[in-house]
């Protein structure tokens, strides 16, 4: 079998961290589903900014929307939902075949709302209703303001992909919000099965410390954070609290490894795929990383140790080197939110420029 098939057989879902209209139009996404065991995809403002700016494929729809009275943000969501509805339909057989556990696509709320809980809740509900697909996650950042929004949205039955998580503690905060939302549904007599994933960003850790640590520590921090968080995920799923919820029909929130493309050309391009193989989790990877793993990746090392293996020892080495991991996790989350805002603003400007040029023509 191929490496992607091996990883799928191990029990980890392979998702594509990309979407463009060209991937849909030329059949590439369908080929990834058929040949590379891809069972879902994720998107974010950076991905859509590159897709819309780099292709003329969106211009026909922009022409159709001319005169509809939509502001630029409204135009973006129409463009994005058109792509994601098509992708969701391609993954519908996977979604049905896994009883709703897999086969998801993701659409993010505006990153401009990251610090506004009420507006995040309102927009997430609106987007999910408008998309009209049961296998569409709404992405909500796991920021302090996003955590209460996650609980409210899960209680409301909206499937959520919690994004911008960088540490075990941030993951557990998101998992707690998800769990409270499910418990409230049980108490209210509602169906407790509302799916969710918690997206832990990996590679940005190693990029953040690359110039400040010794060579023996380089490119080990992201994997250690992933292993530490996986151990917390396993413990939570086996807890009495979740044993009770599963008996009531609930499904644990899956841990998702995100930002798994390597940034250092000297680093193996499949580092964060080979090293984070774990059942009942997701790894969403950039297109070039997916293709690299399919070509020369390996799961020969087997699944992650359920106790995190040497994660705590590795993290202790970084603390001994003077790295404040808690402070860095917060910095990474703040910087990640800002980067999404920057990409969002650039994308909105690109759409406005395209719409104007088409109207003028």
* Sequential pLDDT tens for the chain (361 residues): 799 999 999 999 999 999 999 999 999 999 999 999 999 999 988 898 888 888 889 999 999 998 888 999 999 999 999 999 999 999 999 999 999 999 999 999 999 998 899 999 999 999 999 999 999 999 999 999 999 999 999 999 999 999 999 999 999 999 999 999 999 999 999 999 999 999 999 999 999 999 999 999 999 999 999 999 999 999 999 999 999 999 999 999 999 999 999 988 889 999 999 999 999 999 999 999 999 999 999 998 889 999 999 999 999 999 999 999 999 999 999 999 999 999 999 999 999 988 888 877 7
Query: How many other C-beta atoms can be found within 10 angstroms of the C-beta atom of residue 249?
Result: 12
Angle subtended at Cα 141 by Cα 137 and Cα 143, rounded to the nearest 5 degrees: 150
What's the pLDDT at 212? 94
pLDDT at 46: 86
Q: What is the per-residue pLDDT for 150?
A: 98
Q: Closest Cα to residue 137, out of 58, 180, 199?
A: 199
Element (H, E) at 13: strand 13-16
> What is the model's pLDDT at position 79?
94
| Crossing angle for the helix pair 72-97 and 28-35, to the nearest 10 degrees | 30
Instruction: Return the closest-CA partner of residue 142 out of 229, 73, 218.
Output: 229
CATH code for the domain in which residue 265 is found: 3.20.20.70
Q: Can you give the pLDDT at residue 358?
A: 82
Of 71, 194, 89, nearest in space to 132 by CA: 89
Q: Of 161, 140, 154, whose CA–CA distance to 186 is shortest?
A: 154
Distances (CA, A) of 81 to 153, 197, 209, 339: 19, 20, 37, 22
- Which pTM was predicted? 0.96
Q: Which domain holds residue 113?
A: 3-360
Say how many domains are in the chain.
Answer: 1
Beta carbons within 10 angstroms of residue 219's beta carbon: 23
* Active site members: 139
Please state, in angstroms and rounded to a whole number, the distance separating the CA atoms of residues 270 and 261.
8
């Amino acid at each position: 079998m191929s490496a992607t098939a091996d990883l799928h057989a191990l029990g980890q879902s392979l998702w594509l961290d990309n979407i463009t209209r060209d991937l849909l139009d030329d059949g590439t996404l369908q080929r990834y589903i058929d040949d590379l065991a891809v069972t879902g995809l994720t998107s974010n403002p950076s991905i859509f900014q590159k897709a819309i700016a780099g292709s003329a494929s969106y211009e026909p729809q922009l022409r159709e929307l001319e005169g509809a009275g939509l502001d630029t943000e409204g135009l973006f969501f129409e463009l994005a939902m058109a792509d994601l509805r098509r992708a969701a339909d391609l993954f519908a057989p996977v979604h049905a075949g896994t009883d709703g556990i897999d086969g998801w696509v993701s659409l993010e709320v505006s990153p401009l709302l990251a610090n506004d809980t009420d507006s995040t809740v309102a927009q997430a509900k609106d987007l999910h209703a408008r998309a009209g697909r049961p296998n569409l996650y709404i992405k909500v950042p796991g920021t302090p303001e996003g955590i209460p929004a996650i609980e409210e949205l899960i209680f409301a039955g909206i499937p959520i992909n919690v994004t911008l998580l960088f540490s075990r503690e941030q993951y557990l905060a998101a998992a707690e919000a998800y769990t409270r939302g499910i418990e409230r549904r049980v108490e209210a007599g509602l169906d407790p099965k509302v799916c969710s994933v918690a997206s832990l960003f990996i590679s940005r850790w190693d990029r953040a410390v690359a110039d400040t640590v010794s060579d023996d520590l380089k490119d080990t921090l992201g994997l250690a954070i992933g292993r530490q968080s996986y151990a917390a995920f396993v413990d939570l799923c086996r807890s009495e609290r979740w044993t009770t919820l599963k008996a009531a029909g609930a499904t644990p929130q899956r841990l998702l490894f995100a930002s798994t493309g390597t940034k250092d050309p000297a680093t193996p391009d499949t580092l964060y795929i080979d090293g984070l193989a774990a059942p009942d989790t997701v790894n969403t990877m950039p297109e070039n990383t997916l293709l690299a793993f399919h070509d020369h990746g390996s799961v020969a090392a087997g699944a992650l140790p359920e106790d995190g293996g040497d994660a705590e020892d590795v993290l202790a080495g970084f603390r001994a080197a003077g790295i404040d991991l808690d402070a860095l996790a917060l910095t990474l989350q703040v910087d990640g939110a800002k980067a999404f805002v920057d990409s969002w603003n650039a994308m909105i400007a690109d759409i406005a420029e395209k719409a104007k040029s088409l109207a003028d023509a």
